[in-house]
Structure 1
Amino acid sequence: MPREMERMWVLLVRSLVVFAAWSTHAAAVARAQLLTSALVPACPAQCICLSQSPVVCNSATLRGVPAALSSSVMQLSLSRADLRVLRSDAFAHLRQLRRLSLDACNLTRIKPFAFRGLPRLNELFIQHTPLTTVDAFAFAALQNISSIVLSHNKIAQIEGYAFAGTNFIKLISLRNNPIKRILAHAFSGLNDVNQIELPSGIRSIEPQAFAGLEGVGVLELAYMDLPALVQDTFFGMTRIGRLALRESDLGVIRAGAFDGLRIVDTLEMCNNKIDGIEELSLIQNNSVHTF
């Protein structure tokens, strides 16, 4: 009988040791899970987080930029979201972001410096939206970005300094927008762009529309219907690889239309309809290499 009791006590002690070890392990796992959940934000309900890098939030019920996203997100799609206004610094909590798509959103306004705080952003797509105006400083302070694609929107107007402080861009595309007038200083403060694509159908270019635009590889203005190229149309525009005016009705070329245009490798004017030329003066200060 004593041996039987001893055996039972041994089994009981062993069971208690095993239970204690299991409890310690379970507690450690629970703490680890709790710590992990605290460090890695949960995926927002309207999003699909394939990992912490690419995140897709293509939900028509989404009305703002999700605040709960991980700061490590590199690719973000908010296409087809009910996103109407982008506030200033809207993505500042996503400093690792490299690719951002806002295609087919209900976007009507982009406030100044909406994309500030994105030092690694490489591609930005905003297409097929009801956006009508690019506000001043909307795309300001972007650096070393490959593409800003603003095609197929309802953009009719680009306000002055819309791209101020944005440098070293490969492509800015504004194709297939109903832009009729280019306002003064629309591109002021934009430097070192490989190519700017503007839509056809432009009917007016204000004096100094390109003032402060420095370092452009290619700027092509085609299929325009202008009453005139007015004085100072290209004033303040400098370091241009190729400036092409083609397939357009240029109306009357006013005196001083090309004044203030400096350092141009190639100036092309071909297949245009010109009603008259008051003066076409490309003086030495224009530094046009090939005309």
Structure 2
Amino acid sequence: MISFYGWSRLKTLRIHKCHLEDLHWQMFDGMAQLMHLSLEGNGIKELPPFAFSGAQNLKSISLAHNMIRRLHYLGLAGLLELENLQLSDNLLVGLNEVSFPPLPMLQIIDLRSNPIETIIPATFWVMNDTKEIQLGSVRAALHLQTWNFFGQFDSLQKLKTLVLRNVSAESLEQGVFKGLYGLEVLTMHGRIIRIQFDVFAEMEKLRELDISHCMIEELSMDALIGARRLQMLNLSYNQLTSVPPGLLDDQKELEVVQLQGNLLKSLPTSFFMLPAVLVVRLDQNPWQCTCQMRNWVYRLTNVVHNPTSKSCSKGIIKHSNICKSVKVYEMDKTLVPRCSNYNGRSVYYVLRRYLQCRTLSNHTNTNPNKIDKKTLPYWRKVVSQEKSRKTVTTNRMQNETLAIMEKQPKC
């Protein structure tokens, strides 16, 4: 029987791929200062009651790449200081209200590559401080649904990042994400045919929403109502045939919209009126080009959003640096949207060469000779002002001459 009794000062213990298949409560007895424990790749099948009771100050535990089929709250009982729990690549098939003990300090839990199909409400009620959860496996689809008006992620009010892979839902309904008031990043991949109204209504802090590769066919026009702080929306590689009018009316801070790889043929005329948008990916769609697309913007559709970089400069205090995150955007001509009804030619080439569409500003201008001075360079403005001044002076002199002639007596 393995025992580490007497190793009272050890802070980190790593046992990988050592065929450690069985754990018992005495194994870590007396390891009060142990902070990090990693038991990856050992073929562990279950966690006995109070398996880590001798090391109750653990901050992180990794049980990844084992063969754990079931979790019971007694297996992790007493770990009130635990912050990071890694359980990826095991054999868990479901989670319920008795899977976890109270873990008040838990920040991150990784459950990827487990064939989890169901999550019963109240599963995460004992994780009130958790910030990040990852779920999903290629071996089984994770079913998303509500249970008698309860969501599967209730009580995770401080959760900031939720990643769900290989999800399954015929219709993503209101209440699935109930209680996720603090969520900032939501990523879902899998199979979701329809997204109903108000699904993301409670996510007022949501910044990034990635629901790409989900086979989505239908979006409610009210699906994004409430997510007012959304900055990045990824709907790429779905089965969308249309974008509902008004879908993005509530998203005044939206910067990146990705719609590539769908079945779109047209867009609402107001789509390019988003006040903060910087990137709109529309390539790999069978566009039917008409003059209704004359308000499309080349510099938005032919640009790619690269990973954020850091820019640092020296501060006022000696040896101090001030760093900030910088968003990087680059032009890429290969991303141009193309017309399926013009043999795959560029949308902008077709609008200019074949359709000869006037821009929306020229179309609505009542005076064709009127020039918008805001778009002129400085030297053109000076010349224009000089001409205007001379014209006014000439008109004034002509008027004065006519007035003098009218005052002279007629013969």
The reply on whether 1:152 has 2:152 as its aligned counterpart is: no
Aligned CA distance change for structure 1 residues 60 and 279 (closer, same or farther; 3 Å): farther
Find the residue that maps to 2:112 and give its secondary structure: coil
Residues 166-177 of structure 1 mapped to structure 2, 5 A cutoff: 166-177=127-138
Match of 1:212 in 2: 179
Correspondent of 1:100 among 61, 75, 79: 61
Residues 1-291 of structure 1 mapped to structure 2, 5 A cutoff: 44-45=1-2, 52-56=10-14, 60=19, 62-69=21-28, 70-72=30-32, 73-81=34-42, 83-86=44-47, 91-112=52-73, 115-136=76-97, 138-139=99-100, 141-177=102-138, 178-184=140-146, 185-200=151-166, 202-204=168-170, 205-222=172-189, 224-254=190-220, 257-258=223-224, 261-262=226-227, 264-266=229-231, 268-271=233-236, 272-275=238-241, 289-290=253-254
In 2, the alpha carbon distance for the partners of 1:93 and 1:141 equals 17
Aligned CA distance change for structure 1 residues 221 and 82 (closer, same or farther; 3 Å): closer
Cα deviation for residue 103 of structure 1 reads 1.9
Gaps of 5+ in 1: 1-43
Structure 2 counterpart of 1:215, which letter? Answer: G
In 2, the alpha carbon distance for the partners of 1:179 and 1:238 equals 28
Structure 1 counterpart of 2:58, which letter? Answer: L
Provide the identity percentage: 18
Match of 1:34 in 2: none
Cα deviation for residue 206 of structure 1 reads 4.5
Q: By percentage of residues, which structure has more strand?
A: 1
Structure 1 counterpart of 2:215, which letter? Answer: D
Give the TM-score of the pair, scaled to structure 1: 0.66
In 2, the alpha carbon distance for the partners of 1:62 and 1:199 equals 29
- The range that moved more, 187-196 or 65-74, is 65-74
Q: Do the aligned residues in 2 keep the contact of 1:48 with 1:57 (CA within 8 Å)?
A: no
Aligned CA distance change for structure 1 residues 269 and 46 (closer, same or farther; 3 Å): same
Aligned CA distance change for structure 1 residues 61 and 247 (closer, same or farther; 3 Å): closer
In 2, the alpha carbon distance for the partners of 1:54 and 1:269 equals 40
Larger radius of gyration: 2
Structure 2 counterpart of 1:270, which letter? Answer: L
Aligned CA distance change for structure 1 residues 267 and 77 (closer, same or farther; 3 Å): closer
Q: Would you say how many aligned residue pairs link Structure 1 and Structure 2?
A: 244
Cα deviation for residue 136 of structure 1 reads 3.0
Structure 2 counterpart of 1:54, which letter? Answer: T
Cα deviation for residue 281 of structure 1 reads 5.7
Find the residue that maps to 2:89 and give its secondary structure: coil
In 1, the alpha carbon distance for the partners of 2:245 and 2:73 equals 39
Give per-residue Cα distances to partners, 1:35-54, cap 9 Å, x unaligned: xxxxxxxxx52779976333
Cα deviation for residue 85 of structure 1 reads 4.2
Cα deviation for residue 148 of structure 1 reads 1.7
Q: Do the aligned residues in 2 keep the contact of 1:208 with 1:233 (CA within 8 Å)?
A: yes
In 1, the alpha carbon distance for the partners of 2:43 and 2:86 equals 16
Match of 1:29 in 2: none
Find the residue that maps to 2:192 and give its secondary structure: coil
Cα deviation for residue 132 of structure 1 reads 1.1
Find the residue that maps to 1:198 and give its secondary structure: strand
Q: Do the aligned residues in 1 keep the contact of 2:25 with 2:48 (CA within 8 Å)?
A: no
Q: Do the aligned residues in 2 keep the contact of 1:127 with 1:150 (CA within 8 Å)?
A: yes
Find the residue that maps to 2:165 and give its secondary structure: coil
Aligned CA distance change for structure 1 residues 253 and 129 (closer, same or farther; 3 Å): same
Give the TM-score of the pair, scaled to structure 2: 0.49
Structure 1 counterpart of 2:208, which letter? Answer: R
Q: Do the aligned residues in 2 keep the contact of 1:254 with 1:279 (CA within 8 Å)?
A: no
Cα deviation for residue 112 of structure 1 reads 4.4
Aligned CA distance change for structure 1 residues 179 and 159 (closer, same or farther; 3 Å): farther
Cα deviation for residue 157 of structure 1 reads 2.4
- The range that moved more, 272-281 or 132-141, is 272-281
In 2, the alpha carbon distance for the partners of 1:60 and 1:157 equals 30
Q: Do the aligned residues in 2 keep the contact of 1:62 with 1:82 (CA within 8 Å)?
A: yes
Structure 2 counterpart of 1:117, which letter? Answer: G
In 2, the alpha carbon distance for the partners of 1:81 and 1:277 equals 50
